[in-house]
Amino acid sequence: MIGTSLGLFVFTFVAGPPVAQADVLLDLVSDDLGRAHGAGPSLRPTGDVPALGPRLEQDDVLLLSLLELRREGRRVFSTPFNALDGFGDGPVDPADTTSPGGRPTLGGNGRVLRVNGLDSQTCVECHGMLSTRSIPPTFAVGGHGGMAASAMPGTRELDVDDGAANGFAFFDGRLINPPFLFGSGGVELLAKEMTRELQALKAQAEANPGTSVVLVTKGVNFGKLLYDDVLDEFDTSGIVGLDPDLVVRPFGRKGDNATVRRFALGAMPFHHGIEPAELTDDLDGDGVPDPGIDIDADGDGVFNEILPGELSALHVFAVLTEKPRVQPASSSSMRGLQRFQDAGCATCHLPVLETDTTLLPIAFPEVETDPDANVFREVELLGGAAGFNTNGAGGLRIALFSDLKRHHMGAALEESTGGALDPWFVTARLWGLADTAPYMHDGRALTIREAILAHGGEAAAAAAAFQAFQAFPTGDQLDLVAFLERLRTPLDPNADL
């Protein structure tokens, strides 16, 4: 008898020709573990082994075809991490029980916290719905999430039984309803081009001390900037809807991540306790793991939990998910678009922004103020997997319905973390709207009408105009609904994988 182990399972074969035995074993291993870089779904290991399977270094990324790289990214995005991958935090850190690395677990279960992260094994748990409009719902890797998938970062206090008699369940964190990834490449390309132009305007301000420079890019006004050559400093008090470093950050409800990769660098440790090596092993601050350095920063017994190459693959997969679609226009929906504009919604929800090029630069390590630094690959967004359309001038039309700018949304939507950004949110992208209820940053709006009426602050006038619109003839209201119902998610994203 000949035995071999695979994880916890032992396969025993009757003695026979060595080649035949090897073939049988190879078939079993292939069926269990799937195919590296192969098409279609693969099966994760079922024994006590890391779930992620074959590891991917940054040098490996440079050797893969684009299709192989996207498949690897989907694998990283979809793998349910376990403790041998590094899932979870290590020992509780009494000095900081809130940040990733030293958080407690719920009821001492040893793995899951749920309220402040450690809330999922895989990205697709929260990003897996294609449409909640269809009954039953449809699913796709990279989709949005429902209420049960919402994250609660930073939460330390949760008054579930309203012991403080507030009339509501107070909590001091955030509640974030997960958006989809579809069309992320177009969003990232817009942001990088806007950042590049804003950095040029900053240089213009420095070259002309005492002269205010208006910060307008792609028709979006971010205020003004002044350079004082006596004090050798910039006056950033005139900047609006943007951080003082003039980097456009379209990802995250607060507009705090410039790229998908940057978002993933925070999401991996927060949601899964998976620590990126480019953060833990970068001692000299250049964004790259230092040679020979393997640091288990959270003390869970695992290092190199997610490698730069794996995050690069995830990045490429995400930015090449297909863009949302717009259904063909009807006369009613065209009238609805006019109503949308008349109400002032299009002031912030800009229907279309255009890029200057069709190629998205992918970099490692990233330099947020310089989108052209350390680019290792450019991916084409025109047609193909991403599916964007040309603007006829060398770039793309991105019909996202957003200005990628932060706005003050009023007291009713203000979060309760105590931070300066509590009432500020980046303008939500409306593409895919019809398929992605619930709405708003925390999923509080179950219908489109509720979402519109919840607007306050800078958007209060648009909400008031819409409220007045409710008294208009039913036909006018139906026109607006007809327009918004044209904004759909893609039919079959990543079908070629």
* Interval 59-87: pLDDT, tens: 999 999 999 999 999 999 999 999 999 99
Q: Identify the pLDDT of residue 39.
A: 52
Whether the predicted pLDDT of 464 surpasses 90 = no
**Alpha-carbon distance 369 to 248, whole Å?**
9
Lowest-pLDDT range of 3-12, 163-172, 350-359: 3-12
pLDDT category at 45 given cuts 50, 70, 90 is: low
Secondary structure of the chain as H, E, C letters: CEEEEECCEEEEECCCCHHHHHHHHHHHHHHHHCCCCCCCCCCCCCCCCCCCCCCCCHHHHCCCCHHHHHHHHHHHHHCCCCCCCCCCCCCCCCCCCCCCCCCCCHHHCCCCCECCECCCCCHHHCCCEEECCCCCCEECCCCECCHHHCECCCCCCECCCCCCCCCCCCECCCCECCCCCCCHHHHHHHHHHHHHHHHHHHHHHHHCCCCCEEEEECCEEEEEEEEECCCCEEECCCECCCCCCCCCCCECCCCCECCHHHHHHHHHHHHHCCCEHHHHCCCCCCCCCCCCCCCCCCCCCCCCCECHHHHHHHHHHHHCCCCCEECCCCHHHHHHHHHHHHCCHHHCCCCCEECCCCEEEEECCCCCCCCCCCEEEEEECEECCCCEEECCCCCEEECCCCCCCEEECCHHHCCCCCCCCCCEEECCCCCCHHHCCCECCCCCECCHHHHHHCCCHHHHHHHHHHHHHCCCCHHHHHHHHHHHCCEECCCCCCCCC
What value does the mean pLDDT of the chain take? 90
Whether the predicted pLDDT of 94 surpasses 50 = yes
Whether the predicted pLDDT of 5 surpasses 80 = no
Those residues with Cβ within 8 angstroms of residue 455's Cβ, 6 or more apart along the chain or in another chain: 409, 410, 413, 462, 463
Whether the predicted pLDDT of 18 surpasses 90 = no
Q: Who has greater pLDDT, 9 or 425?
A: 425
pLDDT category at 4 given cuts 50, 70, 90 is: very low
Q: Give the tens place of pLDDT for each residue, 247-268.
A: 999 999 999 999 999 999 999 9
pLDDT category at 221 given cuts 50, 70, 90 is: very high
* Mean pLDDT in residue range 300-310: 97
Q: Identify the pLDDT of residue 40.
A: 59
* Mean pLDDT in residue range 113-142: 97
Give 403: exposed, middle or buried? Use CB within 10 Å, 0-12, 13-18, 19+: buried
Whether the predicted pLDDT of 480 surpasses 90 = no
Q: Identify the pLDDT of residue 41.
A: 67
* Mean pLDDT in residue range 233-260: 97
pLDDT category at 126 given cuts 50, 70, 90 is: very high
Shortest CA distance to 79 belongs to which of 125, 48, 143, 129? 125
Whether the predicted pLDDT of 28 surpasses 80 = no
* Mean pLDDT in residue range 83-109: 97
Q: Identify the pLDDT of residue 35.
A: 36
Q: Identify the pLDDT of residue 363.
A: 98
Q: Identify the pLDDT of residue 29.
A: 37
pLDDT category at 456 given cuts 50, 70, 90 is: confident
